[in-house]
Chain A
Amino acid sequence: MRSVLCYGDSNTHGQIPGRGPLERYGPGERWPGILRSQLGSDWYVIEEGLSGRTTVHDDPIEGAHKNGRTYLRPCLQSHATLDLVIIMLGTNDLKIRFNKPPSEVAMGIGCLVYDIKELAPGPGGSTPEIMIVAPPPMQDDVKEWKSIFAGAPEKSRLLALEFEVLADSLELHFFDAGSVVSCSEADGFHIDAEAHRLLGTALARAVDAIGWSRST
């Protein structure tokens, strides 16, 4: 059986758009769950979605544990052996408190890739396949998050290109979530159940397209 780690933020956690931080879609509804049902019994799908997770920043307000880099190593080692790591992060880096341009967010993703390669949690101590997923662009209206995400919607539309440049440069699998889903109007940056279904289905196809030998 192969293992895939889905490493993300609230949109991997399955947070329901426009609701409180504790309200979450069910295991079969969120995209890792869709991925699980689509890939079938050959795959073990591991969900690691934390609301507020950044690529490489300690969050001065929400806490140091939102730093995607410090948690990644223990997480990879806990779940090794991994055949594939899917990373969908970046939206939280656009909070005004971090003051980062889109290119810098991509570099944050680059750091995570560097750590995965260094730790080599793949089969036999190899580097697993790595897929970078650019999060869907935010809506212009992010409701009560307007001040926290000041300037972020515009930057979020540039993430896909920056991530793809990074994926080309580091030779990574890449998928642009914005090509299949949009963020919900309810809060402007979370995805709804239908979007989870579409994204999980599209990612299952992208995982298949990597090509896997029959022996596991």
Chain B
Amino acid sequence: MRFAPPNPLRIADRASGLNALSVRSYNERLVLSLLLQNEGISRMEIGEKTGLSAQTASVIVRSLEQEGLVSQGEAQRGRVGPPTIPLSLNPEGAYAVGVGFSRRRIDIALIDFIGTVRFHTQLPADEANPFPQSSELFGAIRQAMTSLPVEVRSRVAGIGLAVPDDVDTMAATRNGSSTSLKALQGEIEEQNKLPVFVQNDITAAAGGESMFGVAKPLNDYLFFYLGARLQSRLILNHQIYKGNSSASFDHGLMRLESELAMRRRPSEIIWSSSPEWPDLGEAYSAWLGECSDRLKASISALTQFVEFRTVVLSSYAPRKIAEALCDDIGREFPGIEALPARVTISPKAVGAASLPFSSRFMIQ
């Protein structure tokens, strides 16, 4: 029998803590991803779903528990069969900051490991300078970090930026600089000593909903984001697809704004994150009808090519709007379930904040 001292590598990993950018093993990512999708599954179920042996699962779970990423619940004793011990992601195990850039505002959010928004603030955006290296923006990011107690700040996994496709080109034509996003990314990285990830804003919002929201259990769905404009993504087998055409529908909140303007009514409220809007009268109902028709037309066109059973509608606007539109869709397409997204506080910023998690903890 040949015998060598055991390999101390794992323990060494652990001592260096969350911030060492060590490569996390595929199996650890597999277990974390499973726990994100299925809260409260047991080690045996992890083994069944991954093909890992009970002992391997035990080693991985033990190490994730010691890192504080995973926690054990109380034993569940059923009437038949052995008791099971449910495992869950520890909400306090990791945090991330997300910045969502839009035409009218910049959202900054801090989320925990299960996607709960722990801090949220907004800044007004300047269309001429969409990626400002301003003290307000850096200050807001810092404020998001310092909203955490000092001892857990090292658990911030990174920062994500959710960026609209057209804003950068728009700005580039105006001030002649297309590098402003890159420069901002570099500056944020430098100031916070954390990795910064960038993604298209609508794709990020869809990713956030897949990770934390109603789309968690869904392989395939059609995602709409109702912001200034109405934009969509198709998710097939967890892959997020973006249409080739840059045409996004002009039936979003910008349209509502012009409807209101036509009737000489104030429209500031629709760009705020207020959970409730006052009665906006005729302008609102006219817009809602058009928006609903546009959604139904898109869905109807797409069903000719792809099979999907779920539509998820995401927006920062009051939830009752998404609910009304989902009801409309449900009535029109009995075979399709339309769900208002769960993430309602700045879906773009939450989606952006999910980027460091997927990069550092999850399987892609």
On A, residues with C-beta under 8 Å from B are 42, 103, 106-107, 110-111, 114, 129-130, 161, 164-174, 205, 208-214
A106 and B75 CA atoms in complex are apart in Å by: 30
Query: Are B43 and A209 closer than 8 Å at their CB atoms?
Result: yes
Contact of A110 with B6 at beta-carbon distance under 8 Å, contacts A167-B59, A171-B59, A209-B43 already known: yes
Q: Please, which residue of chain A has its CB at the minimum distance from the CB of B8?
A: A165
A110 and B10 CA atoms in complex are apart in Å by: 17
10 extra interchain contacts, Cβ-Cβ under 8 A, other than A167-B62, A171-B53, A173-B55? A130-B55, A161-B11, A165-B6, A168-B7, A172-B55, A172-B58, A173-B58, A209-B42, A211-B57, A213-B44
* B293 sits at the interface (CB 8 A): no
In the complex, the 7 A-B pairs of residues with the closest C-beta atoms, listed nearest first: A211-B44, A169-B6, A214-B81, A209-B85, A211-B43, A171-B55, A168-B10
* B45 sits at the interface (CB 8 A): yes
A residues within 8 A CB of B7?
168-169
Q: Which one of A129, A168, A173, A213 contacts B11 once the chains associate, using CB atoms below 8 Å? A: A168
Per-position binary interface string of chain B over residues 1-24, scored 1 when its CB falls under 8 Å from any chain A CB and 0 otherwise: 101011110110000000000000
Query: Are B62 and A166 closer than 8 Å at their CB atoms?
Result: no
A56 and B62 CA atoms in complex are apart in Å by: 27
| 28 sample A-B contacts, Cβ–Cβ < 8 Å, listed by A number | A103-B5, A107-B5, A107-B6, A111-B1, A114-B3, A130-B55, A161-B11, A165-B6, A165-B10, A167-B62, A168-B7, A168-B11, A168-B62, A169-B6, A171-B56, A171-B59, A172-B58, A172-B59, A174-B59, A208-B83, A209-B43, A209-B72, A211-B42, A211-B44, A211-B46, A211-B54, A212-B44, A214-B82
With both chains docked as a complex, state the minimum distance between the C-beta of B284 and any C-beta of chain A, in angstroms. Answer: 53
Band of interface residues on B = 20 to 34
Q: Please, which residue of chain A has its CB at the minimum distance from the CB of B53?
A: A171
With both chains docked as a complex, state the minimum distance between the C-beta of B46 and any C-beta of chain A, in angstroms. Answer: 8
Query: Are A174 and B45 closer than 8 Å at their CB atoms?
Result: no
Query: Are B1 and A114 closer than 8 Å at their CB atoms?
Result: yes
Contact of A211 with B6 at beta-carbon distance under 8 Å, contacts A168-B11, A172-B55 already known: no
A54 and B201 CA atoms in complex are apart in Å by: 62
Q: Which of A114, A173, A208, A213 has the most CB of B within 10 A?
A: A208
A residues within 8 A CB of B59?
167-168, 171-172, 174
A116 and B80 CA atoms in complex are apart in Å by: 31
Q: Please, which residue of chain B has its CB at the minimum distance from the CB of A214?
A: B81
Query: Are A168 and B85 closer than 8 Å at their CB atoms?
Result: no
Per-position binary interface string of chain B over residues 79-121, scored 1 when its CB falls under 8 Å from any chain A CB and 0 otherwise: 0111111000000000000000000000000000000000000
On B, residues with C-beta under 8 Å from A are 1, 3, 5-8, 10-11, 42-47, 53-59, 62-63, 72, 75, 80-85
A residues within 8 A CB of B63?
168
With both chains docked as a complex, state the minimum distance between the C-beta of A134 and any C-beta of chain B, in angstroms. Answer: 13
A residues within 8 A CB of B45?
211
Q: Which one of A111, A170, A174, A211 contacts B84 once the chains associate, using CB atoms below 8 Å? A: A211
With both chains docked as a complex, state the minimum distance between the C-beta of B47 and any C-beta of chain A, in angstroms. Answer: 7
A174 and B55 CA atoms in complex are apart in Å by: 9
B residues within 8 A CB of A130?
55
Query: Are B43 and A210 closer than 8 Å at their CB atoms?
Result: yes
Q: Which of B56, B58, B62 has the most CB of A within 10 A?
A: B58
Q: Which one of B8, B57, B80 contacts A214 once the chains associate, using CB atoms below 8 Å? A: B80
Q: Which of B43, B44, B59 has the most CB of A within 10 A?
A: B59
A170 and B58 CA atoms in complex are apart in Å by: 11
A212 and B59 CA atoms in complex are apart in Å by: 16
Q: Which one of B1, B11, B57, B82 contacts A212 once the chains associate, using CB atoms below 8 Å? A: B82
A114 and B1 CA atoms in complex are apart in Å by: 9
A residues within 8 A CB of B80?
214
Query: Are A170 and B82 closer than 8 Å at their CB atoms?
Result: no
B residues within 8 A CB of A171?
53, 55-56, 58-59
A165 and B83 CA atoms in complex are apart in Å by: 28
A residues within 8 A CB of B11?
161, 164-165, 168
Query: Are A208 and B54 closer than 8 Å at their CB atoms?
Result: no
A107 and B81 CA atoms in complex are apart in Å by: 36
A residues within 8 A CB of B82?
42, 208, 212, 214
B residues within 8 A CB of A173?
54-55, 58
With both chains docked as a complex, state the minimum distance between the C-beta of B139 and any C-beta of chain A, in angstroms. Answer: 43
A167 and B6 CA atoms in complex are apart in Å by: 9
B residues within 8 A CB of A42?
82
B residues within 8 A CB of A208?
75, 82-85
Q: Which one of B5, B62, B83, B85 contacts A174 once the chains associate, using CB atoms below 8 Å? A: B62
A114 and B57 CA atoms in complex are apart in Å by: 20
A170 and B3 CA atoms in complex are apart in Å by: 12
A211 and B82 CA atoms in complex are apart in Å by: 8
A171 and B54 CA atoms in complex are apart in Å by: 9
Q: Which of B1, B53, B62 has the most CB of A within 10 A?
A: B62
A208 and B42 CA atoms in complex are apart in Å by: 10
A residues within 8 A CB of B3?
107, 110-111, 114
